[in-house]
Structure 1
Amino acid sequence: MKKTVFLVVISSFALSIAAHSFFLSEWANGRYMTGNGDGIAQMVIFKSFLYEQYKNGHLFYSYSFGLGGGIYSQLGYYFTTSFVFIASIGVVVIMQLLSLVGPADTLFWAQASVFISVIKLALIILITTFVFLHMTKNKLAAFTGAAIYGMSIIYFRHTVFWEFFSDTMLWLPLLVWGAEKIIREKRPGLFITACTITLFNNFYFAYINLLFIVIYVLFRWLIRFGQEESRWIQFRIFAISCLISFGISAVSFVPAVYGFLNNLRPAYDQPINLYDFTDNILFSSRTVVLPAIFLLFLFVVSFYKNKMFCLFASISGLLMLLHFSPLAASAFNGFSAPQNRFEYLLSFTIGGAVAAGLSQFKHIKRKEIVFSSLLVLLLYFVNIQDKEVDLSVVMNWRMLILLFVTIMIFIIVRINYEKTYLLLHGCILVTAILVANMYQQYVLSEGSEIQSVSKHYLTSNEYDGEEQRALLQKIKKDDGADPYTRIDWMNGVRNNTPLIQNFNGFSVYSSILNQNLLLFYWKDLEIDMGRESVSRYATMGDRANLYSLLYGKYYMTEKKDEDDVPYGFQKMAESQHYVVYKNNHILPFVRTTKTVFSEKDLNKEPVLAREHAMLEGIVLENPDEKVKPPQVSDLLKETKVKTKGASYKNDVLNVSAEKGGIDLIPDETIAAEGDYYVHFYLKSLAKDQFFNLQVNDYVTSRKSNQSIYKTGIYDLTIRVPKTEKISIRLPKGEYALKNVKLYQEDYQTLKKATLSTASTAKMNWERNKLSISLDNKNGDRYMVLPIPYEKGWEVTVNGQKQAIQKANYSFIGFNLEKGENDIQLVYYPPYFKETLIVTIISLAVGIWYSMRKKKLGF
């Protein structure tokens, strides 16, 4: 057994290295195995960010994540509890202690991606080999089947674009092995362990894996390997084991799921078809290409007498049908927009079927060889005649050659099995290696432009340049190392720039965000981000009031965009391509007030009135006492409206020119200083049109009505510096344009707030605990902080626990006492204390239950 384990380990790593040949050669040339989209916009950034957080003991919360957020709840979908990532941290720490590597920044994680993938794939093949060996009792067949699974194209697609996606391929075989242990031996220990790891590691793929296990167990109940397999006993053990697993994983699973449920994403409102057969899984699919050996085995009738082959072939047939169903893709994606992310399940069952077929290969009849070969050749011939087939995956017919070679060897080996059976295994493995490397080169690197992810690009001004970092250092020097200062700077459309360049910013890009903040941007304050998206927020729409309220001291931009600088910001530094401005009207981080406004009263008021309310006091959902909202006048009655290259009637704007719209010309008597706030409802009436909206020099993009990433928000407010004419421009098309309103902001309210507010608070923020000492001499009733409101925060004032209120639509507020106030704010992930108790108890129960079953002889 030791010899077998050693041989499988060596073989798995050798196979994994061979499967990564293309990306290893790319690494040697300074190009990396990570996507040029989410790969460098999220994956390497979050790994670098979380590495520093964990290394410094910041396990629960980060003020630097966007406007601030919980790590478990908002990054649990990514790497927060990923065992592969946690193991990587351990290795990197050791390597840094030995001075083998430098800082673990984004460049480091991009460079390390191929080596992490090599190890991960080797482990997938290793684990799956022993799972299949447990079922087939044939070492070589088990290893080859495991290789089919591990080296499937979806592994490389997932690893390159969304690295943590492929982690789940490690846990799926363990789940199946655990299920078999319950079915055959009534022993739940392995299943509890595998299920707990899956739930702890990633809640999203735990859902997909457990959905598959339900399908697997149902098929196993139909295809029983022995008469002693009692379904009722199995059901009882599965139910108890799942409950225990959920309990053990509760401390990780519950906060992550809470974060997912507390996210805000509009319901997918497009029709979802039952089936769509346009994808070609023989040649050109981007997620699964069926191995020729699997198809050859599929048509060997005698193989179906083998229970394992029948099981895996049957499930594969079902999953192939589901691959062609957008409705199934939606179901596997939590009944949201269809996403083909579950095909690794099909790759696993295909590997299982191949392993079972190889273990039975010597019993195949020659006439079955001929029948199967002819059918598969006919299938390929029919598909290759399809003019719509994209041959970019096979490139120069190389895959077709491999397919025919496989069929020939399939025939030859059966004629003289004893002498040539190794040839078939070798052909399958070599074919899988070649397909994997061709897919990496032609589909991923060249087809998806992964080759652009290089050291040169990752250290350039387009991503993370020295010129930008030098200016950021000047800001920190000017600021006196204030740890709470926020800088509005984003490199192009990279919302995670603050995480890359290590400063507190106003932007973030993540699939899961605090819904209170998203509502703050989308509805409460109608802050335009320059780019419509459900998974991002950015900037403050160049609105000076909001920067001051949220401790935004600095504004950095490219010199070509200097016209958009917010009011009251003064130039303080510049370089060849960039310029930095400093806010002259900054408000203190800690603000106290007696004046209270009601959200409900402000709902009917324009967003400018809401800004004024936050500057004058605090806005609460249900205050005991309140004052009337500030009043802001609509200037549209004093404004001329003219069309340009368009017609405007009955709230419909029909743009006939390449770029047209309307002009708003305010009365000349309106004061010159300050800004305009232009509000309107805008929606494209085209079925599918992405477009840019331009208001004077300000440009923002809007998603197509069919996009799964559109916000469904059409009420916009755009800040425009004072000017004689406000031009709203759109590309040719038809739009719903209504509720146009115009307001002026002279910033007197901001100036008054700046002059009248002086904070005497002393603060100390260590990890997840913020301590504030304040002498409330004015007898103010409330304190408000620019820290986002979310579940997990607890506050005590002078030792007494207080309720945290949602203040200013999305931030923390609470009651104060007269005189001295000793305030302690502590953050833990949602339900952390309760779930930690559940985890400990469930772990004890799980150990007892597994040992009890073992003592009973199961």
Structure 2
Amino acid sequence: MCMAIYSYYFMSGGSFIWESDGFTQHFLLFNEYVNILQGLLRGEGFSQWDWSIGAGADTITSYGYYVLGDPFAYLGVFFPESLREFSFHLIMFVRMWCVGLSYLIFVRKFKVSHGAALLGAFMYTFSFFVIFNADRHPFFILPLIWYPLLCLGVEKILKRESGLLFSIMVAISAIANFYFFYKLTILVFIYGIVRYGMLYRFKDWKQLSSSFGRCSLHYLIGLLLGAVVFLPMIDGFLNSSRNTDGIAVNLLLYHVSYYAVLIHNLFVPYAYFWSAGGLSIFALFTVAFLFKTKKKRTFSGIMLLILGVFLLFPFFGSFMNGMSGPYNRFSFAIPLFIAFASGQFLEERDKLQVKDLRLVKYILIGFTFIYGIAAIAQNMYLYYVIPLILGWLIWFILMYEKEIKKKIVNKISIVLLALVMLSMATNATNLYYSYGNGSISKMIELNTSLDRYENLFGGMQNLLPKEDLYRVGVTSQDSHVRNQFIYHDLMGLSTYLSVTNGYLAEFAEEMEFSSYQIIQPLRNGVDDRRITNHFFNIEYILTEKKNEAYLPYGYEVVHRSNDVPTFILAKTEANFPFAYVEDRIITRENFSKLNPIEKETFLTKGVVLETNQDVEGRKIEEITNEQIKEVEYQIEYTDTGLSPLDKNLIEVTESGARFKISLENANELAGHDMFIYLQGLEYETTDIPFYMPDDTSYNICFLYEGRENTLRQSDKYSFSTYFHRENMFVNLGHTDLGTDEMFIQFEDTGKYHIDDITIYALPVDENNDKQIADEKQENALDIKVFENERIEGTLQRDNPGILVTTIPYEKGWEVTVNGEKKEIVQANIGFIGVPLNSGNSEIVFSYQNPYLKIGSVLSLIGLLLIGLIQLIYRKSKQS
């Protein structure tokens, strides 16, 4: 089956590395984690903190969501780096093989025939959820391996057998990925209730209590076994930036289009809200069989009914997604029960009568009509026709079998199995190849990923000094730079991970970075904001020459490559040191009252603390920033695609329509950084049909002196990234000329409500920037040791103050001053600060994940408990 599906896929240069998350997350982190493991085997140790992950991050929580708990990823250590892509693809096939193996182990408990098991294994292994994630999200395949084995573990406990398998599978699934472990827990609980009801009918409450108690005990033991990874990951998730402040969609019912697409996707490979379709057309006959045998109450039928109801209401999707957006990723479980029921139907298809097949015929006619219209409308004939042809073939074969009175039942079973295999194979190819969804076109070309990482900056990264302590930045135009600094082992800020420090996200939100996203709080050069780049100790910026105009003022190009495209390396002398002492503070409450420019300029003067702090009993007086210049302006509406409806409401009827802002006294703006602030933003679409969901996404482009900055409001249905942008604060860049006009361009039609538009000008003096940096250097920590998990330095102070760092605020950091443990405070919202007394200070920062030790102890306790319980079980069995 894999040969049939993927031979041409690879021959045509396709890979399992999606150009989006696959390239910037899955393969990159797999590659780096394998490097870490190989280093560990060479005796290089395992660092629990990594400075190349964004502003610095915990290694366990950063890699844990993707590869750290994936047992298959560890096979990568057997391959050299030159075969890293090969191993990535090979491991994917191993995962797929284990999906089928897991299914076969599960159904063996039910003593199904070989043919039925084989048919189910094909339907489960090559279900849409698997083929879709093979080249999208590799670890999403893991729950399809764990779920049948978890169900088998419950089955064994309910039948008074050993609970060892259940405990082991709970541990493995908890370690592998906490996100899917949550779903698996609920799905296994539902399975356990259904199976207990079928086996014992809830008649004996004592037995029910006993079964529930044993399942709960072995579940808790499994959690203990997996605690070494599970606890750190849960802590990381609970303190991460994935907080969308509620769900902005109706949880009672989906919009009409969802239900239409749900039907449409049943037998063609696609998903909507992760409601995975792409079933074999054979499932249509299986469902008819389940209705026919409803009196028998097969557990697969009951499970399908429950999960089917879950698909109909967004509340269940949200509940299964941790009360987040209703992404129906629990739908990976549906193929398990479809497969099991299909195997049962293959064995017992004689129970389906001619009248039942006639009903299926009418349903097939309905799908023929639906898919026929869709094929013509989308010009995708093979995509829609193949499932229909196979459906009608199966129908004619089953009718023929009824007529010949089952004389060649075994041969027909083989034919049906072959048609199911063909159905699953063509569904996969319909997804991958150009005549269908063409997902192969969204993949990175085979065997090119490592070269792309290496050539991200055209080799300019090799010109960076090796010994100095600094961070490396990019510009606002480098949105493609996400996690690649990890590959280059450079201290950058751009990061794109599912578990990201929540305090950094709070800082980014407070500063109103236009580039902020929920799981990418610091990205795209933090809006090219000059002071913020200085604050983060960004001494160098790497980018392409075409982005030179976006360099913050004061960053001078020191190197240019000779290649095409041309890359540049820019440097500043005004970056702040990594750690320095401030003696002026402002509280978080008062800081929040400032506008974004005032907040940024305050970072040059003092430190933000959550509350007032006493330093040697002396309260440090709060300070305020100077008033930033507000620029007077006039708005001119000349574009026919845009018209003002009232003072604060604009209707855009043509994409790309814009209005002009004319600045008054523009000649006085030369030598300033320019900013624009839109407040009270609301958007309403005007051209969405009633049966489609409201599209709340839009892009606004700001143009000034040839620079373009586009801000996006994501759609409320993009649950991983959605947050409501009530305001947009945009850095328009530095002006030497004092240009008197700028434009705001709307990429999406609709009505835009804007309460207020303010334009700020911030005077810039390069000498003043250098003086501020020099003052910070005079009060800087003299760093002697800088390692992933340890920083050592000395400091001499005549007065007390707050040691300010850009170390992300994490529980695992401890600080000693002159050998004594010192309190850590939350400084500048997202970072670590240390109150210091006057005099000499020898300061040591050290990091250890706070839950790793206790997790290890709990895992050891779990091992002892599982051994004890197994010993008791064997003795009771012998007696």
Pairwise TM-score range, normalised by the shorter structure:
0.7 to 0.9
Aligned to 1:542: 528
| 1:441-590 → structure 2 map (5 Å cutoff) | 441-446=429-434, 447-455=437-445, 458=448, 464=453, 466=455, 468-474=457-463, 476=464, 479-482=465-468, 484-488=470-474, 491-522=478-509, 524-529=510-515, 535=520, 537-538=522-523, 539-575=525-561, 576=564, 577-590=566-579
One-letter amino acid matched to 2:763: E
Tell me the CA shift for residue 194 of structure 1.
1.2
CA distance in 2, matches of 1:182, 1:314: 20
2:187 pairs with 1:170: no
CA distance in 1, matches of 2:469, 2:409: 67
SS at match of 1:224: helix
Aligned to 2:690: none
Choose 442-451 or 420-429, whichever is displaced more: 420-429
Tell me the CA shift for residue 837 of structure 1.
2.1
Aligned to 2:679: 681
CA distance in 2, matches of 1:493, 1:206: 31
CA distance in 2, matches of 1:301, 1:455: 44
The structure 1 residue matched to 2:248, chosen from 255, 269, 286, is: 269
What is the TM-score with the length of structure 2 in the denominator? 0.85
CA distance in 2, matches of 1:370, 1:283: 23
CA distance in 2, matches of 1:115, 1:755: 54
One-letter amino acid matched to 1:831: Y
CA distance in 1, matches of 2:288, 2:474: 62
Choose 165-174 or 717-726, whichever is displaced more: 717-726
Tell me the CA shift for residue 548 of structure 1.
1.4
CA distance in 2, matches of 1:79, 1:837: 23
2:728 pairs with 1:716: yes
- Paired residues of 1:807 and 1:813 also in contact (CA < 8 A): yes
Tell me the CA shift for residue 203 of structure 1.
0.9
One-letter amino acid matched to 1:254: L
Q: Cα 1:467–1:274, aligned 2, differ >3 Å: closer, same or farther?
A: closer
Aligned to 1:209: 184
CA distance in 2, matches of 1:375, 1:799: 81
SS at match of 2:874: helix
Aligned to 1:189: 164
The structure 2 residue matched to 1:129, chosen from 89, 101, 104, is: 104
Aligned to 2:657: 659
Structure 2, unmatched stretches of 5+, are: 40-44, 271-275, 686-694
CA distance in 1, matches of 2:487, 2:360: 50
Q: Cα 1:302–1:396, aligned 2, differ >3 Å: closer, same or farther?
A: closer
Tell me the CA shift for residue 351 of structure 1.
1.6
The structure 1 residue matched to 2:827, chosen from 807, 811, 823, is: 807
Tell me the CA shift for residue 84 of structure 1.
2.1
| 1:60-459 → structure 2 map (5 Å cutoff) | 60-85=48-73, 87-88=74-75, 92-96=76-80, 102=82, 104=84, 108=85, 111-224=86-199, 230-262=207-239, 263-266=241-244, 267-274=246-253, 276-278=258-260, 279-280=262-263, 281-284=265-268, 286=270, 287-300=276-289, 304=293, 310-360=298-348, 364=350, 368-386=352-370, 390-391=374-375, 392=380, 395=383, 397-410=385-398, 420-446=408-434, 447-455=437-445, 458=448
- Paired residues of 1:621 and 1:807 also in contact (CA < 8 A): yes
Tell me the CA shift for residue 315 of structure 1.
1.3
- Paired residues of 1:663 and 1:727 also in contact (CA < 8 A): yes
What is the TM-score with the length of structure 1 in the denominator? 0.87
Q: Cα 1:561–1:335, aligned 2, differ >3 Å: closer, same or farther?
A: same
One-letter amino acid matched to 2:11: A
2:596 pairs with 1:610: no
Aligned to 1:822: 842
CA distance in 2, matches of 1:545, 1:282: 53
Tell me the CA shift for residue 424 of structure 1.
4.3
One-letter amino acid matched to 1:513: T
SS at match of 2:568: strand
Aligned Cα root-mean-square deviation (Å)? 3.2
Tell me the CA shift for residue 250 of structure 1.
2.3
CA distance in 2, matches of 1:675, 1:750: 13
CA distance in 2, matches of 1:606, 1:812: 23
CA distance in 2, matches of 1:119, 1:648: 60
Choose 292-301 or 56-65, whichever is displaced more: 292-301
CA distance in 1, matches of 2:621, 2:438: 57
SS at match of 1:455: coil
| 1:733-772 → structure 2 map (5 Å cutoff) | 733-741=750-758, 742-747=760-765, 750-758=769-777, 759=780, 761-767=782-788, 769-772=789-792
Aligned to 1:848: 868
Q: Cα 1:421–1:591, aligned 2, differ >3 Å: closer, same or farther?
A: farther
| 1:28-39 → structure 2 map (5 Å cutoff) | 28-39=11-22
Q: Cα 1:344–1:20, aligned 2, differ >3 Å: closer, same or farther?
A: farther
Tell me the CA shift for residue 415 of structure 1.
7.6
One-letter amino acid matched to 1:265: N
- Paired residues of 1:130 and 1:142 also in contact (CA < 8 A): no
Aligned to 1:21: 4
Choose 147-156 or 112-121, whichever is displaced more: 112-121
- Paired residues of 2:19 and 2:444 also in contact (CA < 8 A): no
- Paired residues of 1:532 and 1:703 also in contact (CA < 8 A): no
CA distance in 1, matches of 2:729, 2:383: 50
2:716 pairs with 1:703: no
Q: Cα 1:393–1:284, aligned 2, differ >3 Å: closer, same or farther?
A: farther
One-letter amino acid matched to 1:703: Q
Tell me the CA shift for residue 825 of structure 1.
2.2
CA distance in 2, matches of 1:305, 1:704: 45
CA distance in 1, matches of 2:664, 2:518: 32
The structure 1 residue matched to 2:635, chosen from 626, 642, 659, is: 642
Q: Cα 1:839–1:381, aligned 2, differ >3 Å: closer, same or farther?
A: same
Choose 788-797 or 394-403, whichever is displaced more: 394-403
Q: Cα 1:141–1:782, aligned 2, differ >3 Å: closer, same or farther?
A: same
CA distance in 2, matches of 1:411, 1:129: 29
Tell me the CA shift for residue 184 of structure 1.
0.7
CA distance in 2, matches of 1:80, 1:798: 36
CA distance in 1, matches of 2:267, 2:441: 23
- Paired residues of 1:677 and 1:745 also in contact (CA < 8 A): no
- Paired residues of 1:615 and 1:750 also in contact (CA < 8 A): no
CA distance in 1, matches of 2:595, 2:303: 57
One-letter amino acid matched to 2:328: N
- Paired residues of 1:633 and 1:743 also in contact (CA < 8 A): no
Per-residue CA shift, 1:621-676, capped at 9, x if unaligned?
Answer: 1223333334232433x623333435485444456785323525253574632313
Structure 1, unmatched stretches of 5+, are: 1-17
CA distance in 1, matches of 2:702, 2:53: 30
CA distance in 2, matches of 1:655, 1:380: 45
One-letter amino acid matched to 1:94: F
Q: Cα 1:654–1:488, aligned 2, differ >3 Å: closer, same or farther?
A: same
CA distance in 1, matches of 2:32, 2:792: 27
One-letter amino acid matched to 1:837: V
One-letter amino acid matched to 1:289: G
CA distance in 2, matches of 1:719, 1:661: 18
Choose 489-498 or 174-183, whichever is displaced more: 489-498
